[in-house]
Amino acid sequence: MNLPTGLQHVMEVYRLVRRFHRSRIKAVNEVARTRRVNPQTVTSACARSLGIGTDEFDEFLRSENSEAFCERLVRRFPPYQREIEAIFAEFDGKNDQAPDDPLGAIRALFSDEKKDLLRLLLLHNISKRLSAWSERHDIPEDIRQEILAMQKQIDKT
């Protein structure tokens, strides 16, 4: 794998837990032994470097949380998004995803960034609807002008 060392440690622990049903502690010790590093180094990569504690890491190791864990890793290591998603797709048996999945960029966004994107999409949709209303001839001129003014305000944002 062409990933940063810390991310490699995380993915190896994840693989041992998910595929070989090791406990987190046994997986950390095994990765540390094969990599010839201190187990604390691996634990630090799995928790502190991700901005989480070991309890939260344990939650991410559960199969039902794999999508959330993948998103967390992608946000932490954006240059390696494709590699991370490919690894998780393999673990989760979802190898049928397209390599240029347009939703991949959205998965890398933080929740507040997703909300901002949704607001922009909503404003764009409203602007298109206002444009259609402003072109109707059965709407009084003063209302059409007000609609155009609102549309210009939306387009500024």
Residue 38 has pLDDT above 90, yes or no: yes
Residue 150 has pLDDT above 60, yes or no: yes
- The per-residue pLDDT for 137 is 87
Q: 60-111, pLDDT tens digit by residue?
A: 999 899 999 999 999 999 999 989 988 898 887 765 555 555 565 666 666 6
CA distance 102 to 97: 11
Contact 119, 105 (CB under 8 A): no
Residue 139 has pLDDT above 90, yes or no: no
Query: Do both 64 and 11 map to the same domain?
Result: yes
CA distance 71 to 75: 6
* Single pTM value for the model: 0.64
Query: Do both 120 and 91 map to the same domain?
Result: no
- The per-residue pLDDT for 90 is 86
Percentage, residues of the chain above pLDDT 70 = 87
Q: What is the residue-averaged pLDDT of the chain?
A: 87
Query: Do both 35 and 50 map to the same domain?
Result: yes
Query: Do both 35 and 71 map to the same domain?
Result: yes
Mean pLDDT on 121-134: 86
Query: Do both 61 and 12 map to the same domain?
Result: yes
Query: Do both 116 and 82 map to the same domain?
Result: no
Under the banding of pLDDT at 50, 70 and 90, the label for residue 151 is: confident
Contact 9, 46 (CB under 8 A): yes
Domain final position from 65, 85, 105:
105
- The per-residue pLDDT for 124 is 85
Residue 23 has pLDDT above 70, yes or no: yes
- Cα→Cα distances 33→10, 54, 74, 124, Å: 14, 20, 27, 54
